[in-house]
Structure 1
């Protein structure tokens, strides 16, 4: 990793020229400064990723719910390769609830952990039929009672299938929220609460998309592309990764579909 440097891209102009917006460690910031910096980061990420969106393909709440469960420990790209076959074969919750387990496992096998995922899909489909008439409920408390569904999955469904604001704390979101100094917690529930308090509720879903986009493309776990980051001047973690602009630019990922035969985890 590159040595942390005090010289940041654009340090003399723009956001970094305002001490209240500069990427000071969280401990030295006032609450007002933290909120201003967080919202400035969100605006800059909106400029970088104007097309940020849920990268799972779906046509209805059930499809998104199942696809999100399948996305654990694999890529959205790979899930999108599997779900057309899955939903053509089992289009409703009742169909999924009555699915032959071996057939279901075969269809979703390439997503990894397919036996556990098949159990979750069968369980949640049966619960939907028994408790909700086969429909996905638009309520967090109901969603998290379904097998294999936690707050992250529930918020994905609420925000993208029902238009109900929610913060999706996946590994990318949590990592970036800590790097930005928005939270120090590793607990997803605490991260959701602390980050949510910095933003208007109506922005939560798009904020989630932007951080996830940025985490997948630029602010990587092992070697973030600090020198190619649009929020470098606002980030307390600047210098964690490559700071040279040309070298950093080579680290930025332009995520594209992979061949179905490629190994799991190709896109990170």
Structure 2
């Protein structure tokens, strides 16, 4: 009887030792994330976790491993990302090409108004003004001619066009329309205004009406900047040209009458 009890105790201790070793190995694998998910039919390990002995067994479920995509899914995902990146790059590239200045496009734009000539004449200029939405006599056209350094009123040569439009980075009608406000703003700068004013004299010198010379033209600008509207600070003994002396005399007589 005693021998039978000893045998039972020996077998029980052996089983407990085996179960403890299995438990230790299981948790070691679990820490290394090498265990698989436990299914509902895995009654053996399930019964192992149901053991109430806190010394030997824990109730912590092994973490569920993330599903790795199948090879086909992985390739599809990579292809989708690649296509998306390519479309984004392609769209950016096209947009950049449209925004970047093109000498070829600028040349084609010039010949829309020049026809077969190497100069935009009065007829082409009229169409050009209509397309950009300004009247030919608008002051912004004078500023544009100044930027192109045009030598003759009503004409833009090929060289003037390419040089000036390149400096403005305009190769289409739309781009020039968007630049008109910038051209007008140049008149607000005193230095630019003086340069444009002086340029206007040479630009219009082909006119048959030559009333004043260039010095008188520049003196008119200085007169407008320094003399009060009521002419109260005008010095008749100053170094003003006779033309302005006559203007002041005429104006005062008109005010008195």
Q: TM-score range by the shorter chain?
A: under 0.3
The structure in which a higher percent of residues are helix is: 2
| TM superposition score normalised by structure 2 | 0.23
* The structure with more radius of gyration: 2
| TM superposition score normalised by structure 1 | 0.22
